Amino acid sequence: MTFNSFTFVLFFLVVLGLYQLPLPWRTRKGILLCSSYLFYAAWNPPFVGLLVVSTVVDWVAGKRIYASSGTPRRAWLVLSLCTNLGILAYFKYSPFLLQSFAGLAAGVGIVFEPATAGIVLPIGISFYTFQTLSYSIDIYRKRLSPATSFLDYALFVTFFPQLVAGPIVRASEFLPQCLQPKRADGCQIGWGFILLTLGLFQKTILADHLFAPVADAIYREPERVSFATAWLGTLAFSGQIFFDFAGYSSCAIGAALCLGFVLPDNFRYPYAAIGFSDFWRRWHISLSSWLRDYLYIPLGGNRHGRFNQAGSLMLTMLIGGLWHGASWTFVVWGGLHGLYLVAERIAKATVGHLALWRHHAMQIALALLTFLLVTMTWVFFRAPDFTSASLFLQAMFGGAEQMSPVGPQAYVALAAVCMTLVFQWKMRQSSIEEVTERLPRWTVALCIGLLLVIMAITHQEETRGFIYFQF
């Protein structure tokens, strides 16, 4: 079930009520585990089996990796990698691979029409697969001891607040939290609900009400876009995807906190980033740090010279792009981010020492440049295919002749994007907690009340799913 549903509100209140009962710690963890399976089954019950398989395989592999050495140790790691990546490849990438192969075959004159298997993508598979992979790899690298309790480990894999769209949690962050009995106090529950409310507001009002209708309307007709509409639509999408995903992450962190668990941050005002290294330290932090630790560094990272570093970066970002979706448009999206990162490293190495870059106005200009490039690159993320993407990019560079009119809502969305940029720039060195601490408590309460009222009166029947659920 999605956070922006009445069903989730009921579900969460019931789980919270049961979890707060004076029961043994093990029982309360069992309640959380059952609730997590129920939460996942609410989409498609048979896929719970997949979650169980992934959990059991890595639980066994983790123990064996830890206990063995040499070839058997490597073999157990390979088993874990093959199982997790195999499941991911079958469910997420097999139609894409078959279609790509058919396209390649057609290119050399071989007609091959792959059968459409009708594979359904299990929700959240990319997230929990990366989570279980990190567990096995960390044990292999001797950075982590296996979980001592299967219950704790299963809860780490399935914990419902972050199960379907992250943040991607490391076992080293989560498992220690399962050891000591805990019950969220009034501080955690209250702040957790505040984060939940903020997240829901970002999702339902800003992403769904303000930005999505504009982006959807403009991206629906790529052949009719003009310079202005292409920019407006893409800027609206940049607002939509940020508030959609950041909203989900806030909800996840808030829901976990209500249960006394602390999750990692996933966003830190990314549209105020100065450069692309900074952007990836602020956008989907749990994924970018995962890719850094389990892909970029093993590929060589900053070692072995600039050429190898650039290659590692490119490969990491291409795979990161493919992680998002089984389509070449996502690969291009990742590849462009890789190019930006490589270009930034080259620029830093050659002219980075100049005092000019540290000037406040230059920092703002660099942040704006970063935002514009990130926004342009979103075209590949949002457009359904390369034809649409190229029409949009042509229009954004003045290649479209027609001037299609836009409604007032597009200008409201544009104003909202500008306000978001200013807000994120002001907040870039700060945090919502720091700002809230400085506010009188009654002001915070009033703001929460107003957010809830706005969500209630603008409630619409057809709710949108979270964008990242499809990954």
Partner 1 sequence: MASSTSNSNGRLGAWPWIRTYLFGLLVAAVLIGGWEGYWRSQGLKPFVANTFELWAAKLGAGLRAGSDAIMFTGSSRIMVGIDFPTLRAARPDRLLAQVGTLGGSPVAVLQYLAEETTWNGCVVAEVSPGELFIPFADQEQDTAEWLERFTRRLREQRRIPEPTYHALEFELELYLKEHLVTFAGQTHPNAVWQSLESGEPLEQPFYWLTRDRTEILDYTHIDLDDWRARSVARYSAPAIPRSEFAATLVEPLQGWVRDIEARGGRVVLLRLPAQGGILSLEHERFPDPDYWDILVARAGALAIDGNASPALSDFQMTDWEHLDREEAPQFTQTLVEILPPDC
Cβ at position 94, least distance to partner 1 in Å: 15
**Count of beta carbons in the 10 Å neighbourhood of residue 82:** 12
Calpha distance 195→258 (Å, rounded) = 10
Mask for 349-388, x = binds partner 1 (CB under 8 A)? ----------------------------------------
Part in contact with partner 1 (CB under 8 A); list of ranges 60-68, 134-142, 188-196, 360-368:
188-196
For residue 146, which phi and psi values (nearest 5 degrees)?
Answer: -60, 155
Instruction: Specify the residue, 193 or 227, whose C-beta has the smaller distance to partner 1.
Output: 193
Using rule CB under 8 A, residue 193 touches partner 1:
yes
Instruction: Specify the residue, 187 or 356, whose C-beta has the smaller distance to partner 1.
Output: 187
The one catalytic residue in 209, 284, 304, 324 is 324
Part in contact with partner 1 (CB under 8 A); list of ranges 70-78, 95-103, 312-320, 456-464:
456-464
Using rule CB under 8 A, residue 470 touches partner 1:
no
**b (16+ CB within 10 A) / e for 325-359:** bbbbbbbbbbbbbbbbbbebbeeeeeeeeeeebee
Using rule CB under 8 A, residue 442 touches partner 1:
yes
CA atoms within a 13 Å half-sphere pointing along the CA-CB vector of 288: 20
To the nearest 5 percent, what fractions of the chain are helix, strand and coil?
75, 0, 25
Part in contact with partner 1 (CB under 8 A); list of ranges 217-225, 239-247, 379-387, 430-438:
430-438
Using rule CB under 8 A, residue 113 touches partner 1:
no
42: DSSP letter: T
Cβ at position 196, least distance to partner 1 in Å: 9
Using rule CB under 8 A, residue 188 touches partner 1:
yes
Cβ at position 245, least distance to partner 1 in Å: 16
Rounded (10°) angle between helices 186-201 and 441-457: 40
**Count of beta carbons in the 10 Å neighbourhood of residue 277:** 16
The only residue of 37, 43, 96, 386 in contact with partner 1, by rule CB under 8 A:
43
Largest CA distance in the chain: 71
Among 1, 128, 119, which residue's Cα sits nearest to residue 53? 128
Is 324 labeled as catalytic in the residue annotation? yes
Calpha distance 98→115 (Å, rounded) = 9
Cβ at position 231, least distance to partner 1 in Å: 25
254's tokens: 């808030």
Calpha distance 311→301 (Å, rounded) = 9
**Count of beta carbons in the 10 Å neighbourhood of residue 51:** 22
Instruction: Specify the residue, 327 or 375, whose C-beta has the smaller distance to partner 1.
Output: 327
Instruction: Specify the residue, 197 or 229, whose C-beta has the smaller distance to partner 1.
Output: 197
Q: Which residues are catalytic?
A: 324
Contacts with partner 1, residue ranges (CB under 8 A): 1, 5-7, 10, 41-45, 118, 120, 173, 185-191, 193-195, 197, 253, 257, 262-265, 285, 430-434, 436-437, 441-442, 444-450, 452-453, 456-462
